[in-house]
Structure 1
Amino acid sequence: MKKEATTEAKLTRRGFVTAAGALGALGLAGCAPQAAEKMADTGADAPAEPAAGESTPWNGVADEVTREITVQVPGKPTPDGAWHNTFNGGPLTAAEQHEALSSYDWRKNELTASQIAEDAKAMTDEEAEAILMNEPVITEDYVTSDGRTIPAVYIALRNRLLRVGQGVGCEIHGNAWDFLMQEFTEDEAAFYLKLPNFAYFTDKEAGEAEGMSAEDAGKICEDLSYRGLLNRVTRQGQKYYHVLAFAHGMLEFMMNRYEEEGFCDSVFGMLGADYGYQSRNQGSPMYFPIPANQEIVGDTQILPNHDWNEIIDRYDTLCVAPCQCRTFTPIRKGEKPGTLCDHPMETCVATGEQAQYYIENGIGRQITKDECREILQRGVDAGMVIEVMCTAECDVICQCHGDCCSILRGFISLDGDCENYHYMSHYELQVDHDQCIKCGSCAARCPLFTIEMTDDGPEIGNLCVRCGQCATVCPVGARKLFARPEAERFEMPENMVDDYHMKALERAKRGYINDFDPAKAKAKA
């Protein structure tokens, strides 16, 4: 598959979230039931007008950001509050971080995300791969500050998960291993650590890695996969498995257990406070928005993997599951699922092999192509962002909104000030200002609350994800989505395993993978 080049992200020098606000930045601190209020103009410069005689594909200006509109969301500190203190970077470059793993403290880092990304370019894929594959051998148990003993195998297992996809965050705290100790026996954890990473494998290959028969290894893999701890696909009668990331992975595949007492707190308790920052500054998105429908696309043809009707057409197996965000967020607040907003609950569509896994594991129900279209159209009609997992296989299609989606809420908490916003979409929004009648329909519709009505008409803030919802309700067709130049589009991995690997390589280059070793921690103390 051809890899597409990406342009350097352009970020402000404003600081990022602190450890205290990291889970809020992740979007897990809570959901607002009402649309966000808008704050006044910050005075940012308006976009430059096209040069005289310049030809444009449409009679408008690319309004990716017309001015910086800060969104005030209920329950979120204002921009001058603690959530915008300096968060990551520092006197250490990515390479120096790797040389000082035992003493590296992410809280003292002061580099911006763009500086870390630029520094990471000096590291080759081969050097990053060596970091991923050089998992430390943990031989000592760890005693937490409250006197609990964490067996070495669970520390090694968390170091493994740190390497997969978006990882789990480097910051260590007393509950960092609770979920793993809850879900894996020590023997299962040791088994998991020997499985190939970033690859599909058979029971035979698992047995060879473990030094046991294919039959015995297959039984363990089957059990782990039905518990949401391994992925499982069947191709031409042969079962294959692969190691999972925290997200998209274990979190989503265990959604049928969210309502178990303490389960959500346990799984999220595994995350380090830097997880939210890392997952939003890693060079590629977890999901990316696609146009709400083809009619709002100004180009003659919609981009591949961006037409949800086409995605539905290519798969015979489809399923739908409840929205994870609108399920676990209320639970973590002591409320019932679906109580924090009035959007539909059954919105997460899985396709193909992922759909089959969802169905077999009882976390989704099989649907027809027609029912799938109805579900997605309902989401569009409800003003939701249609998002697709960042793979060419389009494993999952989500329907999200800024008042209840963890991913979008996380971006709102950062006012869009993170690198992944540059990679959120392959489209740009253009507005025909002469055609616009200033009716305000777009501002009322925007699921990120980032369009503000002014005397001059609607102005777009820095949270636009190019979902095109504003264009679906424009009565005069004054808003359209146009494809960005190919060189400016982010790389699209083939499948979930490829995406895990691509993100892990980039995180290794940026110094995000810092293993915990009890022996080194003891020596440092």
Structure 2
Amino acid sequence: MSTETNDDIIYTKLRKHLDSFPIAYPKTESGVELEILKELFTPEHAKIALRLRTIPQTIEEIYPFFKRKDKSLEWLQANLSEMVKKGLINGGKGPDGRMYYSGAPLAVGFFEYQVNRLTPTFAKNFAQYMDEGYRDAIIKTKVPQLRTIPASKAVKTIVVDEKVDHKNLVTPFDEVEELLANASNTISLANCVCRQTKEILGKGCKHTMETCFQFGGAAHYYINNGLGKQVTKEEALEIIKKGMKEGLVLQPSNTQKPFALCLCCGDSCEILSNANKMENPAQFFQTNYYAEVDVEKCTGCKLCEVKCPMHAAVINDAKKSTIDLGRCIGCGVCVTVCNFDAVHLVKKGEAIPPESTIDLYKQIAIARAESESEEN
């Protein structure tokens, strides 16, 4: 006999609805994904979320369904505003000055929006969900939401792989200074939600906490809802430089004009730390480079081995550094820490990121459909 309540049915429907988005929200045997939803969404908010799409809509476009349920426009407005404030959905003003709302995936989405208000239960459930299904679901498309670009010092060392024939050594959109210069002037800086999560779980690292940037509409969302503070491009660049000195990995959103830039570490970053659990994780990253060692210059000091966030650099029996290309993501951290100029980056291709977030989601949706078709 089933003991499922009406509320349970609502959260199951919401789980299925979120799983219909380009970024999956898969079912697990334990049902931990439902526990995440129950903690964040009230039953009323869950019902509203069921009516939101990934494409932003005005309240007038959303309202007809609720009008049939005898709900007032004011009721819907109040609830949508509260859901935005709680970090459950996307919401902000469009170019026409009107408010638009859309459903948010778990990541990048309402996981990140819980920054500064994470609970131990949420942190525990999120980590469990990663292990039980979410990690595999988002990685298998091989179209990442974030991409890896090299540290500034590493950019200067790039050489061209003999298999690659390109005039320019640095692929467009791969230099952080240029990326920042072309980004929106509205920039927010927030704490790293991944580091906060690990800290709550007793696995915190010592890296700088304020290292996550948002641009344009995403920045307005963070600033308006108290999730981040506004910074100038000059201030952002100084923080980025500090992060590179710490050996953090530059990961902008996988779009030509990024909505976010994260400075990530192998200790806490959900992307890097979870990819590290897999064989040949480099295949799941979009990167145009890999590291190569000049054995004549290498002294076997082990700095690259210690600092590599993906454990790709290893000192062999001959006391020389070797790079596991199955693990190297071309971040250039090894280049920045080497005191003997023994490591450089090699350009392996020229993958240009999608033009916009919508284009990125389209690519992810297509890749996901193809992957699921092959499984069936």
- Aligned letter for 1:321? A
The 3-state SS of whatever aligns with 2:132 is coil
Q: Does the alignment pair 1:244 with 2:108?
A: no
The sequence identity of aligned pairs, in percent, is 27
Looking at structure 2, the residues matched to 154 and 424 of structure 1 have their Cα atoms a distance apart, in angstroms, of 34
Q: Does the alignment pair 1:306 with 2:174?
A: yes
Cα distance change of structure 1 residues 229 and 340 upon mapping to structure 2, 3 Å threshold: closer
**How far does residue 262 in structure 1 lie from its aligned partner after superposition?**
2.7
**How far does residue 503 in structure 1 lie from its aligned partner after superposition?**
2.2
Counterpart in the other structure of 1:171: 28
**How far does residue 498 in structure 1 lie from its aligned partner after superposition?**
4.1
Match for residue 369 of structure 2 among 489, 494, 508: 508
Give the structure with the larger helix fraction.
2
Match for residue 264 of structure 1 among 94, 118, 123: 123
**How far does residue 363 in structure 1 lie from its aligned partner after superposition?**
1.2
- Aligned letter for 2:323? I
Q: What is the count of residue pairs matched by the alignment? A: 359
**How far does residue 184 in structure 1 lie from its aligned partner after superposition?**
2.8
**How far does residue 233 in structure 1 lie from its aligned partner after superposition?**
2.8
**How far does residue 435 in structure 1 lie from its aligned partner after superposition?**
5.2
Counterpart in the other structure of 1:492: 353
Q: Deviations over 1:467-524 (max 9, x none)?
A: 01112233454433343334xx3x733444443443233223323999xxxxxxxxxx
Q: For residues 62-73 of structure 1, what are the structure 2 equivalents within 5 Å?
A: none
**How far does residue 412 in structure 1 lie from its aligned partner after superposition?**
1.6
Counterpart in the other structure of 1:411: 275
Counterpart in the other structure of 2:196: 327
Q: For residues 52-451 of structure 1, what are the structure 2 equivalents within 5 Å?
A: 143=3, 150-195=7-52, 197-208=53-64, 210-211=66-67, 217-236=76-95, 237-258=97-118, 260=119, 262-266=121-125, 273-293=132-152, 294-298=155-159, 300=168, 302-314=170-182, 315-331=184-200, 333=201, 335=202, 340-414=204-278, 416-418=279-281, 421-434=283-296, 436=298, 438-451=300-313
Larger Rg: 1
RMSD: 3.0
The 3-state SS of whatever aligns with 2:107 is coil
Looking at structure 1, the residues matched to 359 and 374 of structure 2 have their Cα atoms a distance apart, in angstroms, of 18
| Gaps in structure 2 of 5+ consecutive residues | 161-167
Larger RCO, structure (CA 8 Å, separation 6 or more): 1
Cα distance change of structure 1 residues 380 and 328 upon mapping to structure 2, 3 Å threshold: same
- Aligned letter for 1:458? S
Looking at structure 2, the residues matched to 218 and 380 of structure 1 have their Cα atoms a distance apart, in angstroms, of 43
The 3-state SS of whatever aligns with 2:353 is coil
Cα distance change of structure 1 residues 349 and 272 upon mapping to structure 2, 3 Å threshold: same
Looking at structure 2, the residues matched to 256 and 512 of structure 1 have their Cα atoms a distance apart, in angstroms, of 39
Q: Deviations over 1:299-358 (max 9, x none)?
A: 745323222222222321112111112111221x3x4xxx63221111111112111111
**How far does residue 391 in structure 1 lie from its aligned partner after superposition?**
2.3
**How far does residue 397 in structure 1 lie from its aligned partner after superposition?**
1.1
Looking at structure 1, the residues matched to 138 and 242 of structure 2 have their Cα atoms a distance apart, in angstroms, of 29
- Aligned letter for 2:44? D
Looking at structure 2, the residues matched to 372 and 388 of structure 1 have their Cα atoms a distance apart, in angstroms, of 13
Q: What is the TM-score normalised by the length of structure 2?
A: 0.84
Cα distance change of structure 1 residues 271 and 399 upon mapping to structure 2, 3 Å threshold: closer
The 3-state SS of whatever aligns with 2:204 is coil
Cα distance change of structure 1 residues 340 and 422 upon mapping to structure 2, 3 Å threshold: closer
Looking at structure 2, the residues matched to 429 and 465 of structure 1 have their Cα atoms a distance apart, in angstroms, of 8
